[in-house]
Amino acid sequence: MRQKELTRLGYAGLAPFVASAIGVLAMPEATPNMAAIIGTVYSAIIASYMAGMGAGGLIVSGRPADRALLPGMIASLIAWLAALPLGLSETAGLVLSFNYIPQRCVLMIAVFIYLLKIDLEAVAANGLPGWYAHLRKRLTLGACISLATIAAGVSIA
């Protein structure tokens, strides 16, 4: 039963990604940036949540706390950069400017792939159940396709 519930919740969590991508494509003459911003901020929130899942799985598997927590903390900080308000990264003098939504989407795609790698390590170390790997692959694919669609839709608009 737990697997079924978590699978259902996982797909429900994918809905805002898909809705943002559809919003960008469906409203090219309106404000596709609004749907894109909603999608990228949501992706940063979900990435931080997923970082905690992977860290928890690695801790359960017996990995030292610093080696279990650090990768997720790095991923969360990178996701935070993608969620900063437009213009803030440039104002703060960051060397890499993420003021364009397509850059933020590419950054988040990289974060989700990295977090998938961490979760697969946790599954391999028996910190997370085996079925979770298959679910995470599908959800990561859905999130990444949605983010790529957002990036492409905003670039075209």
pLDDT digits (tens, 9 = 90+) for 76-107: 999 998 888 766 555 555 544 555 889 899 99
Element (H, E) at 95: none
Alpha-carbon torsion, ordered 106, 8, 38, 154, to 10 deg: 50
Question: How would you class 157 by CB atoms within 10 Å of its CB: exposed for 0-12, middle for 13-18, buried for 19 or more?
Answer: middle
Residues 6 or more apart in contact with residue 25 via CB below 8 angstroms: 32, 149, 153
pLDDT category at 111 given cuts 50, 70, 90 is very high
Please give the pLDDT value at position 95: 45
Specify whether the CB–CB gap between 24 and 154 falls below 8 A.
yes
**Quick one: tokens of 117?**
């790698």
pLDDT digits (tens, 9 = 90+) for 9-26: 999 999 999 999 999 988
- Cβ atoms of residues 140 and 75 within 8 Å: no
**In terms of DSSP H, where are the helices of 27-157?**
32-60, 65-83, 88-91, 101-124, 130-156
* Radius of gyration in angstroms for the set of CA atoms belonging to the chain, rounded to a whole number: 16
